[in-house]
Amino acid sequence: MARRLPILLLTILAATAQTNRYNFEESKVPPYTVPDPLTLNNGEHVRDARTWTEKRRPELMAIFADQVYGATPPPAPPLRTSQVFTDRKALDGKAIRKQVTLYFTPDDAGPQMHLLLYLPAAAKGPSPVFLGLNFNGNHTVNADSGILPNEVWVRDPADLSTTGPKKMLHLPPDDRTRGQNAANWQVEKLLAAGYGLATVYYYDIEPDFTGGMKLGVRPVLVKDPEAWSAMGAWAWGLSRALDFLLTDRAIDPARVALMGHSRLGKAALWAAAQDPRFSLVISNESGKGGASLLKRGFGETTDHLNTAFPEWFCPNYKQYTGHPEKLPVDGNELLALIAPRPLYVASAADDLGSDPKGEFLAAVNAGRVYQLFGKKGLGTTQMPMVDQAILQDIGYHVRSGKHDVTEFDWRQYIAFADQHWGTAATAPAKTSPTKTTSK
């Protein structure tokens, strides 16, 4: 997400992609089989929503926990929370800004999560809210001088490793980065449409580098932290952020959307699969290991995921290096676990590593589970033109441009949420109509 990568690092990343042999040619995609979400482990076919909910869904959850993301420990409320710092006149009076720290150990030195929340000041009732983890610190999501800056981790410029960051620097709050990712969050646009935004710096939950595990929540929560995964920990943290949001009566508990970009999109999908309190879910270019079809030999490979980011997935996932065909599940089934909640899958045309077509096909396939609930799913098998959004029970677009989150993306997410929940400004929500729209 708009991280400023120096040219050298980009070159290294490109070289890494090469060594792990990403295929970027459609004609070279080998034959593959998409696993059928509607076939039970015993081979029987799932024909109704009840069999899905009672039998197939638990089977798939168990496989994802066992083979992909590791088993999640039970919810653990923070041991304490700080005072909530509230400013009712933030952003020129347009927002109520709240900030709070949730502590997961008795002492101040252990893992703690700093949550930033904006709510529309003009709201007449409880507001719908988008929650998403951020990449670079809360103070980067808006230029608002009232955001308490995070201590952040950045890659040591001297670290030239081609297999993910090895040397990281823990830096004190740096005001020069305030607002640097504002375009990725569109706070003012969300507020004007009647939505709030809640966000947490994902390193607060577990720093994202080799060795980062020791500094995050995993060792605090489980006996065998290696058996879990960073992705699992980030997903767990999202549910803890939601626990907190649901204590705030200014937030509508039935309208909390979860949005995640890229690796944080993978984490968001797993969080939403596990936690039905997320009532609308957005995967922004979550790619392989997220929404996309891993078994489709286009874009990023399991080899790359497992070598460049060995902490992201659980130990069992390593056996699929070089063998995605052996993985018993795929992105279509991860998406199906969100059913029947509104789900939006977004791709970017130049983000070939994520395999836009693989993301689209997974969304189409997940629609079969939505149909069990009397929903349409995507309502088409035809990939839309670039920059044309499909807004059904499942939404989809492929935006022109690179791997990123843009104003275009947020415009579609707001329209999608409006469609399913009623225009945010006019709570309570309507029931979800379905229609196809363009930009």
Render 1-69 in DSSP notation, one character per residue. Answer: ------HHHHHHHHHHHHHTT-B--GGGPPP-----TTB-TTSPBP-SHHHIIIIIHHHHHHHIIIIII
Indicate the residue among 210 and 380 with the shorter CB distance to ligand GCU: 210
x/- contact string, 338-357, with ligand GCU (CB under 6 A)? ---------------x----
Indicate the residue among 289 and 422 with the shorter CB distance to ligand GCU: 289
For 42, the token pair is 């015993």
Indicate the residue among 231 and 245 with the shorter CB distance to ligand GCU: 231
In the chain, the amino acid numbered 220 is V
Catalytic annotation present for 432: no
Indicate the residue among 99 and 302 with the shorter CB distance to ligand GCU: 302
Tell me how far, at minimum, the Cβ of 204 lies from ligand GCU, in Å: 17
Indicate the residue among 165 and 353 with the shorter CB distance to ligand GCU: 353
| Dihedrals phi, psi of 169, to nearest 5 degrees | -115, 130
How long, in residues, is the chain? 439
Tell me how far, at minimum, the Cβ of 81 lies from ligand GCU, in Å: 29
- Which DSSP category does 377 fall into? T
**Three-state secondary structure string covering 398-430:** EECCCCCCCHHHHHHHHHHHHHHHCCHHHCCCC
Indicate the residue among 269 and 427 with the shorter CB distance to ligand GCU: 269
In the range 301-330, which residues lie near ligand GCU by CB under 6 A?
304
Tell me how far, at minimum, the Cβ of 289 lies from ligand GCU, in Å: 6
- Which residue(s) pair with 85 in the sheet? 99
Tell me how far, at minimum, the Cβ of 350 lies from ligand GCU, in Å: 13
CB 299 within 8 A of CB 352: yes
In the range 262-301, which residues lie near ligand GCU by CB under 6 A?
262-263, 287-289, 300
Cα dist from 241 to 69, 137, 154, 244, whole Å:
19, 15, 24, 5
- Which residue(s) pair with 97 in the sheet? 87, 118
Catalytic annotation present for 403: yes
For residue 435, count other CB atoms closer than 10 A to its CB: 9
Distance CA 222, CA 239 (A): 17
Specify the DSSP element, H or E, that contains 197: strand 196-201
Tell me how far, at minimum, the Cβ of 286 lies from ligand GCU, in Å: 7
The catalytic position among 127, 229, 262, 283 is: 262
CB 110 within 8 A of CB 104: yes
Q: Give burial (CB, 10 Å; 0-12/13-18/19+) of 172.
A: exposed
Tell me how far, at minimum, the Cβ of 126 lies from ligand GCU, in Å: 32
Specify the DSSP element, H or E, that contains 270: helix 263-274
Specify the DSSP element, H or E, that contains 242: helix 230-245
Number of residues that bind ligand GCU (CB under 6 A): 8
Distance CA 282, CA 256 (A): 11
CB 234 within 8 A of CB 290: no
CB 333 within 8 A of CB 37: yes
Indicate the residue among 218 and 261 with the shorter CB distance to ligand GCU: 261
The catalytic position among 114, 397, 403, 420 is: 403
Distance CA 84, CA 100 (A): 5
x/- contact string, 223-262, with ligand GCU (CB under 6 A)? ---------------------------------------x
Tell me how far, at minimum, the Cβ of 355 lies from ligand GCU, in Å: 11
Tell me how far, at minimum, the Cβ of 391 lies from ligand GCU, in Å: 24
Indicate the residue among 234 and 278 with the shorter CB distance to ligand GCU: 234
For residue 179, count other CB atoms closer than 10 A to its CB: 18
Instruction: Write out the catalytic residue numbers.
Output: 262, 403
Q: Which residues bind ligand GCU (CB under 6 A)?
A: 262-263, 287-289, 300, 304, 353
